[in-house]
């Protein structure tokens, strides 16, 4: 039998199937989707079995050396999906397969040196010393040492040989547990063997009448109120047996979830649920776009449709954006479905993610709630896929494979003939356009549950504030309202969009801005250690006291960071208790959750933060939301800037007045007339959609045109330019005349980590041959890619144009 295998070598020349023989002893055990260890040239690598056949065209093949799985880790569906991903995103097949599995399962190669079995001579003096107390030497121990040449020589003459061990990154966690090494019926007679004085031992043993499964040692000690000594002697007498039991690292072990029952649906909700239920009952694929204003009860719809799928014996995937995976969302799912739920998000450790994955793999859970990569959950009988906040940019992976979770979800749902529900208050323009064209089915919720009113929104023109002499970052209206909430004991949320607004250093005399020496971007000031830092390459230097250019002392920090807002808040509202949430304060594991918990418990009056506070949170006493600089992201070089601004403002406004108390929103801006800001303040998605569609049509952007972005980078600017030019010319010559090829043009950040970056953008409507052409480009430059350190990245449907 021959296995078709994708080897774990992410390179152009190895990105194809290799044939290996299956040893006879494994013929009945091996299945497609398993990981194996195969000899590859002079080394050993991990491989994925993707097919089993009888014949090979090759003269001779080498054999699979080892199996790494007992059960396939990829189902036939996922294998097919992997190849689809490879094709869609132009990545290596291994990269696609690896993206579908938890990082902990990535192979870990350990190289070591041993004395060759066939060798019975004498080792060189310097080398034999290394083998005095052991029979293998880890490669790391000698690879940088002086003796390396001698080792190499010994390998050459056959005295030593190098071996590679392929292991998993993280092994399942085990714990010591106890079982009876004989049938329960023998308990009584066995107990008689014990000395009459061994009262406690008998007592412990008698507990095993009730215990049916292996029990962990600490648990037994607790249960029997005894000590380790008692148990140890029982084990020594052979009356109990100690085994190693696999356990899960459960990140939610110590949390209890309030069980919840299905809520009564409003008329609107019922109308939205019905077609989804139909799709489930009749088992056909359909994509629903569930557009519901903030607070309209989308989550309850998710819960009830999932419950329906579970009743049919099917499984469900729920995707949530990375940052909004608030404890609140997890609680609601765990509360409704209990231990049937696995959770997968970036806050978990590698080991925890691995364990959650194994629960899915073994069929121990029916629902997974997770970020982007949870879309690959190895379920075999999917009933429904839900994508909450479907417009969120975190669903697009920005590294290879550059997939969008929405596309993967739809692909999987077609296979399983099940519905996909895309939920959002502010759908992505592309999604809404598809709903308009009836590609998706539009379901709308226009009212908040219990008919709560949308908050009142006030737009404050910061230019006016400046003219009237207010130079602070808080306008008069916002300041007054903050004081009002403080007096009433209500809470406020302040949003600062830091992107494009970080603190940089500028000289007021000569205008000099301190830039990173390796990237074309200004350095950001970090107050904690008084350092200037580059956010792209990590370069750091001390903040200068005088201008490096003109030695002027009038050098100052410009821009607004959360730290500075916090300082100013402390000045103008000294009594307010503030919680700051940004990358700095939430870096630690669980910090995100903890800070939100504190705010929810009323331990602060104001929550100040970046984008991460904009979504998902739902606190009763929040009645004021302030947006400090609504236009911060409006002028970024990105055709989605208006859309992102509209979405963010709408989302954050939705945080106010979700319960008994009425909410208010203050939006501070320098461009109050901009349609994103105007329509967001009126909660008017439809008008925004019409206006933005006009702009997209005019400029030839999605959803009217598809976009593919090719990024080229190299240390030498001339090289980048010439390669980009060749690529653009090639495309211009081969694409249809309705398509537009833009470039070569320098990227928005023309240099990162001492590499120059150019790009080429393709806009097209129909271009069935594009993938082939792109592959041809990669092939043509493949030599320079490896040899000359040239980089070409291709992003079909990019979300970041930088």
For 237-355, where are the E strands, in sequence order?
A: 241-247, 286-292, 315-319, 341-344
Nearer to DNA, 13 or 195 (CB): 13
How many CB atoms sit inside 10 A of residue 469's CB? 6
Identify the residue among 23, 26, 31, 39 touching DNA (CB under 7 A): 39
- Is 48 a binding residue for DNA by CB under 7 A? The answer is no
- Is 38 a binding residue for DNA by CB under 7 A? The answer is yes
- Residue 592's region, left for phi above 0, alpha for psi from -120 to 50, else beta, is alpha
- Is 61 a binding residue for DNA by CB under 7 A? The answer is yes
Q: Which residues pair with 669 in a beta bridge?
A: 461
- Is 131 a binding residue for DNA by CB under 7 A? The answer is no
- Is 13 a binding residue for DNA by CB under 7 A? The answer is yes
Nearer to DNA, 14 or 771 (CB): 14
Near DNA by CB under 7 A, which window of 38-46, 116-124, 566-574, 697-705?
38-46
Nearer to DNA, 56 or 245 (CB): 56
Nearer to DNA, 71 or 136 (CB): 136
Residue 91 is labelled as binding a ligand = no
Binding map of DNA across residues 79-118, x = CB under 7 A, - = no contact: --------------------------------x-------
Render 550-597 in DSSP notation, one character per residue: T--S-EEEES--HHHHHHHHHHH-TT--EEEESTTTT-STTHHHHHHH
| Per-residue tokens: 500 | 């494009």
Nearer to DNA, 94 or 318 (CB): 94
- Is 574 a binding residue for DNA by CB under 7 A? The answer is no
- Is 11 a binding residue for DNA by CB under 7 A? The answer is yes
- Is 350 a binding residue for DNA by CB under 7 A? The answer is no
State how beta strands 755-764 and 706-714 pair.
antiparallel
Q: How far is the CB of 467 from DNA (least distance, A)?
A: 58
State how beta strands 491-495 and 622-627 pair.
parallel
Q: How far is the CB of 26 from DNA (least distance, A)?
A: 15
Nearer to DNA, 4 or 796 (CB): 4
Identify the residue among 40, 151, 432, 474 touching DNA (CB under 7 A): 40
What sign does the CA torsion over 280, 361, 5, 1 have? negative
- Residue 313's region, left for phi above 0, alpha for psi from -120 to 50, else beta, is left
Identify the residue among 1, 23, 43, 715 touching DNA (CB under 7 A): 43
CA distances from residue 550 to 190, 270, 543, 546 in whole angstroms, order as listed? 91, 69, 15, 8
Near DNA by CB under 7 A, which window of 53-61, 253-261, 592-600, 732-740?
53-61
Q: Distance between CA 189 and CA 359 in Å, rounded?
A: 39
Number of shown-chain residues binding DNA (CB under 7 A): 26
Backbone angles phi, psi at 3, to 5 degrees: -105, 130
CA distances from residue 348 to 325, 374, 410 in whole angstroms, order as listed? 12, 13, 26
| Per-residue tokens: 466 | 């400046």
Cβ–Cβ under 8 Å, residues 317 and 377: yes
State yes or no: cis peptide before 744, omega within 30 of 0: yes
CB neighbour burial string for 287-314, b if at least 16 within 10 angstroms, e if fewer:
bbbbbbbbbbbbbbbbbbbbebbbeeeb
Identify the residue among 1, 10, 181, 470 touching DNA (CB under 7 A): 10
Nearer to DNA, 64 or 622 (CB): 64
| Per-residue tokens: 539 | 């370069």
Near DNA by CB under 7 A, which window of 285-293, 445-453, 504-512, 780-788?
780-788
- Is 472 a binding residue for DNA by CB under 7 A? The answer is no
- Is 471 a binding residue for DNA by CB under 7 A? The answer is no
HEC letters along 337-385? HHHHEEEECCCCCHHHHHHHHHHHHCCCCCEEEECHHHHHCCCCCEEEE
- Is 151 a binding residue for DNA by CB under 7 A? The answer is no
Residues 6 or more apart from 280 whose CB is under 8 A from it? 305, 308, 309, 312, 314, 383, 384, 418, 419
Cβ–Cβ under 8 Å, residues 423 and 292: yes
- Is 400 a binding residue for DNA by CB under 7 A? The answer is no
- Is 14 a binding residue for DNA by CB under 7 A? The answer is yes
Identify the residue among 138, 149, 602, 637 touching DNA (CB under 7 A): 149
Q: How far is the CB of 148 from DNA (least distance, A)?
A: 9
Nearer to DNA, 92 or 599 (CB): 92
Nearer to DNA, 111 or 241 (CB): 111
- Is 18 a binding residue for DNA by CB under 7 A? The answer is yes
Q: In terms of Cα–Cα distance, which of 548, 553, 560, 452 is closest to 496?
A: 560
- Is 781 a binding residue for DNA by CB under 7 A? The answer is no
Q: How far is the CB of 42 from DNA (least distance, A)?
A: 4
Nearer to DNA, 57 or 117 (CB): 57
Under DSSP, the state recorded for 313 is T
Q: How far is the CB of 725 from DNA (least distance, A)?
A: 23
Near DNA by CB under 7 A, which window of 15-23, 83-91, 529-537, 665-673?
15-23
Nearer to DNA, 143 or 662 (CB): 143
Identify the residue among 24, 28, 42, 601 touching DNA (CB under 7 A): 42
| Per-residue tokens: 798 | 């990019």
Q: How far is the CB of 623 from DNA (least distance, A)?
A: 56
Near DNA by CB under 7 A, which window of 33-41, 320-328, 497-505, 626-634?
33-41
How many CB atoms sit inside 10 A of residue 749's CB? 14
Render 660-707 in DSSP notation, one character per residue: SS--EEEEEES-TT-HHHHHHHTT-HHHHHHHHHHHHHHHT-TTTSEE
Near DNA by CB under 7 A, which window of 16-24, 225-233, 381-389, 426-434?
16-24
Residue 418 is labelled as binding a ligand = no
Nearer to DNA, 61 or 442 (CB): 61
CA distances from residue 140 to 40, 123, 156, 161 in whole angstroms, order as listed? 21, 21, 19, 15
3-state secondary structure of 420: strand
Identify the residue among 1, 12, 147, 180 touching DNA (CB under 7 A): 12
Q: Distance between CA 3 and CA 72 in Å, rounded?
A: 14
Nearer to DNA, 13 or 236 (CB): 13
Binding residue ranges for Zn(2+):
507, 510, 516, 519, 534, 537, 547, 550
The contact set with DNA (CB under 7 A) reads 9-14, 18-21, 38-43, 56, 58, 61-62, 111, 149, 164, 785-787
Binding residue ranges:
507, 510, 516, 519, 534, 537, 547, 550
């Amino acid at each position: 039998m021959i296995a078709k295998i994708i080897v774990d070598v992410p390179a152009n020349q190895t990105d194809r199937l290799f044939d290996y023989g299956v040893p006879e002893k494994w013929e009945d055990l091996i299945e497609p989707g398993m990981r194996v260890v195969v000899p590859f040239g002079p080394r050993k690598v991990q491989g994925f079995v993707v097919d089993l056949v009888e014949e090979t065209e090759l003269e001779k093949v080498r054999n699979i050396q080892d199996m790494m799985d007992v059960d396939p880790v990829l189902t036939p569906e996922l294998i097919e999906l992997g190849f689809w991903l490879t094709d869609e995103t132009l990545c290596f097949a291994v990269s696609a397969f690896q993206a579908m599995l938890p990082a902990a399962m990535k192979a870990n190669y350990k190289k070591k040196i041993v004395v060759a079995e066939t060798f019975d001579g004498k080792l060189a003096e310097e080398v034999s010393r290394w083998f005095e107390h052991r029979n293998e030497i880890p490669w790391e121990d000698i690879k940088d040492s002086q003796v390396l040449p001698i080792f190499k020589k010994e390998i050459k003459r056959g005295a030593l040989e190098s071996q590679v061990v392929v292991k998993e990154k993280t092994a399942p966690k085990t714990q010591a547990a106890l079982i009876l090494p004989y049938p329960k019926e023998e308990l009584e007679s066995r107990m008689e063997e014990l000395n009459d004085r061994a009262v406690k031992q008998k007592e412990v043993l008698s507990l095993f009448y009730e215990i049916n499964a292996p029990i962990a040692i600490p648990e037994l000690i607790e249960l029997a109120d005894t000590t380790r000594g008692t148990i140890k002697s029982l084990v020594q007498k052979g009356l109990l047996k100690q085994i190693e039991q696999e356990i899960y690292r459960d990140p939610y072990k110590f949390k209890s979830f309030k069980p919840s029952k299905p809520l009564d649906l409003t008329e609107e909700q019922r109308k939205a649920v019905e077609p989804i239920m139909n799709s489930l009952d009749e088992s056909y694929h359909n994509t629903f776009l569930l557009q519901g204003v903030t607070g309209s009860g989308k989550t309850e719809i998710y819960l009830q449709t999932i419950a329906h799928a579970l009743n049919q014996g099917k499984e469900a995937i729920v995707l949530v954006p990375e940052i909004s995976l608030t404890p609140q969302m997890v609680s609601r799912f765990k509360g409704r479905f209990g231990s049937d739920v696995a959770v997968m998000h970036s806050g978990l450790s590698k080991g925890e993610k691995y364990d959650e994955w194994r629960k899915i793999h073994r069929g121990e859970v029916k629902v997974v709630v997770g970020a982007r990569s949870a879309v690959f959950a190895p379920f075999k009988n999917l009933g429904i896929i839900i994508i909450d906040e479907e417009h969120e940019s975190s669903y697009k992976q920005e590294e290879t494979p550059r997939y969008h979770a929405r596309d993967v979800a739809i692909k999987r749902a077609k296979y399983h003939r099940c519905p996909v529900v895309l939920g959002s208050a502010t759908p992505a323009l592309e999604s809404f356009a598809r709903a308009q064209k009836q590609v998706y089915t539009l379901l709308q919720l226009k009212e908040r549950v219990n008919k709560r009113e949308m908050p009142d929104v006030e737009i404050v023109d910061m230019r006016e504030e400046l003219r009237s002499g207010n130079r602070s970052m808080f306008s008069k209206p916002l300041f007054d309202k903050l004081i009002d909430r403080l007096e009433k004991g209500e809470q406020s949320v302040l949003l600062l969009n830091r992107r494009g607004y970080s603190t940089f250093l500028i000289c007021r005399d000569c205008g000099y801005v301190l830039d990173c020496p390796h990237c074309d971007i200004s350095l950001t000031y970090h107050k904690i250690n008084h350092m200037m830092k580059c956010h792209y390459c990590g370069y750091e230097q001390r903040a200068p006291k005088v201008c490096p250019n003109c030695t002027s002392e009038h050098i100052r920090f410009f821009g607004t960071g959360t730290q500075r807002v916090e300082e100013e808040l402390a000045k103008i509202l000294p009594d307010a208790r503030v919680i700051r949430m940004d990358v700095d304060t939430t870096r630690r594991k669980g910090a995100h959750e903890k800070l939100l918990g504190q705010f929810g418990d009323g331990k602060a009056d104001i929550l100040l933060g970046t984008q991460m506070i904009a979504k998902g949170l739902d606190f009763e006493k929040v009645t004021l939301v302030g947006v400090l600089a609504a236009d911060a992201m409006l002028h970024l070089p990105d055709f989605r800037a208006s859309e992102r601004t509209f979405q963010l403002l709408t989302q954050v406004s939705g945080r106010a007045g979700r319960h008994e108390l009425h909410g208010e929103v203050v939006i501070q801006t320098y461009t109050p007339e901009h349609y994103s800001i105007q329509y967001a303040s009126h909660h008017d998605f439809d008008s925004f959609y019409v206006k933005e569609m006009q702009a997209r049509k005019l400029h030839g952007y999605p959803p009217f045109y598809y976009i593919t972005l090719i990024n080229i980078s190299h240390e030498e600017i001339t090289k980048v330019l010439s390669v980009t030019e060749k690529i653009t010319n090639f495309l211009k010559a081969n694409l249809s005349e309705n398509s537009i090829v833009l470039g070569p043009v320098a990227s928005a950040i023309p240099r990162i980590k001492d590499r120059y970056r150019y790009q080429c953008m393709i806009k097209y409507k129909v271009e069935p041959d594009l993938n082939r052409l792109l592959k041809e480009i990669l092939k043509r430059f493949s030599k320079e890619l490896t040899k000359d350190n040239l980089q070409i990245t291709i992003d079909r449907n990019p979300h970041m144009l930088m």
